[in-house]
Chains A and B, each alone.
Chain A
Amino acid sequence: MKKHLKIMACYFRLNLASALEYRSSFLTQAFGMALSNSSFIFFWWIAFSQLGGRIAGYSFEDVLFIWATTSAAFGLGTILFANASRLTTLIVTGELDAFLLQPCNVLVNVLCARTNLSAYGDLAYGFILMGLAFGGNADAWLWFLVGTAAGCLVYTAITLTAHTLSFYLGDASLIGQLATEFSINFSIYPEKIYGPAVRALMYSVLPMGLAIHIPLRLSREFSPLIALAALAGTVLYCVLAGLFFYRGLRRYESGNVMVTRL
């Protein structure tokens, strides 16, 4: 465990150092992402100004909370585990070889080996939005941080699961992309705008509801039972995603494409 935390810290430092090699690109992408996210909040502000009150049971403040949590969770997930969304490429081109040759947990090694520059903008945006919307509200901040951590893990596990299908299907990049888009859509809109079937998906196959909407609910009214169930669901989903990956790894066929690490 200690060894893998050290490896993760080392990867984080190296990825950041690598990103900073291209300072202007890093700043442009991070700032651009934060700006792009802001435009969505602007539309929500207009919607609430026009319609007033609540939309599907959510106030404007609630929307700001789920937006901030989703943005920070997605940002943290892609800063720390950006390779989850590149897993299909790694499988198809045989890039997993380099990770399998090293004496550490393959999953940790693979997931942490890459970062995404724009994700720093997402993470920063989540915190800035929380600061602007909730100021010093400790309760809101606590559930925001819990949601960010859980969302980071659940989002990564969803992406990992979708791309692990590449071991079986050959190329699951489209499924991976769809899983990401659905996960984000399930996170940034009030859950009641979706029908029961989709809501069931939000708490099972693509369980972003556990990480984003449950913390919001808990911030309004704390329930130890719901908190425990959400925690158990998150852990179970992550463990199953890991087991699914290792099962698929047995089918890995490698490849001989020329590869460099960026």
Chain B
Amino acid sequence: MCIPEFFIIRQPERMFKAMTAIETKNLTKTYRTRVKAEGLAASFRSLFKPVWREVGAVNGISLTVEQGEMVAFIGPNGAGKSTFIKMLCGILYPTGGSLSVLGLSPVKERRKLAMRIGTVFGQKSQLWLHLPAVDSFTLLGAIYEIDDRERRRRVAELSELFELGDFLHTPVRKLSLGQRIRCEVAASLLHDPELLFLDEPTIGLDVVVKQALRELIIRRNRERGTTVFLTSHDPADIEQLCKRAVVIDRGDVVLDSPVERLKSDYLGKKLVEVKFASPQTVPEMAGVTVLTKEGGLTAALTVDTARRPIGEVLERLSLTGSVLDITVSNPPMEDIIAAIFQKKPEADQ
């Protein structure tokens, strides 16, 4: 596929001048929540005598991201990822600390900043459900002050890049999830943002669409120098897209490391689930841990790919002669984070 002109023209200052895209110092956000005991009586008491509690969602995060970087920002649910990103975008006001995004203050210069950032929140759509995506692009053109001729050109180019041609004029409600997400990402790129916040962009997508989307994001970063700040629960997103991973938990950064290191330390394990036609015992292999009982119709294994290549394990399993089905997957993000916590004291030493 030839690369459209819109994506080849590069802005020299963006490509070659290393600038800080995101800088936060001791950024904090606390929420005041009402504490209420269980039951109706407590509800009445709380009505007249409420008890308040301060909850720290982000507790003094200091982080620097250079322009052109692709950073994975990961953590378990409730870790403070969304709150942190929302402060960076100007949606939420920080309680303390300082922050600068593309040299602007999200608190004081929200509109200027919004002109230069793009966002894809997997849970929130910026497209009109009952209208074709092309109509939403028209509105976004007005909002981002793109003249009609330029908008039409960009839509045509994004349509070619994301292969939207077949469904650009179909009401969004009639699109598959994958098609809708492609439209969402295209919408977020319409104004050619310098910094892209992607919050679970591949959630719910099938493997093929996920891969296509990752390739598009990589291409965008390579060709336009777009900085990408990604949160995802899919380890493959992090492995394939990012060079750096920042892990947070309970509002604090617990790990800031190159993804290569994260990969060798935590992402090198694969889960293999296998179904046999007749009860089998999984052969013993170094680097392979069998998680289920021996002699069953199914088995689950974890494979340390640094010690034993996954292909070799699959080959050995197939030699049993009665394999019906095999699934290979990454360990869930929660397990990876748990592993990070288990290993952290040792890494700190």
Contacts and interface: CB of A to CB of B under 8 A. Distances in A.
Do chains A and B interact in one complex? yes
Nearest to B139: A10
Nearest to A5: B142
Given A98-B124, A259-B123, A10 B131 contact: no
Interface residues of A, number: 31
B135 A97 contact: no
B115 A103 contact: yes
Contacts of B93: 250, 252
A259 B128 CA distance: 11
A206 B82 CA distance: 38
B139 A7 contact: yes
Given A109-B143, A256-B82, A261-B126, A14 B92 contact: no
B98 to A, nearest CB: 17
Contacts of A97: 86, 91, 121, 124
A1 interface: no
Contacts of A98: 124-126
A262 interface: yes
Contact of B135 (A6, A17, A96, A102): A17
Nearest to A17: B131
Contacts of B125: 98, 259-261
B127 interface: yes
Contacts of B128: 14, 18, 261-262
A129 B156 CA distance: 48
A132 interface: no
B89 interface: yes
B139 A103 contact: no
Interface of A: 3, 6-7, 10-11, 14, 17-18, 21-22, 95-98, 100-104, 109, 250, 252-254, 256-262
Q: Pick the 5 closest A-B CB pairs, nearest first.
A: A103-B114, A103-B115, A18-B130, A10-B142, A103-B111
Given A11-B139, A97-B124, A262-B129, 20 more contacts: A10-B138, A14-B136, A17-B135, A18-B130, A96-B91, A100-B89, A101-B89, A101-B114, A101-B126, A102-B114, A102-B143, A103-B112, A103-B144, A252-B93, A253-B92, A254-B82, A260-B129, A261-B125, A261-B128, A262-B130
11 contacts: A7-B143, A17-B131, A101-B91, A101-B114, A101-B126, A102-B114, A103-B113, A250-B93, A253-B31, A257-B123, A260-B129
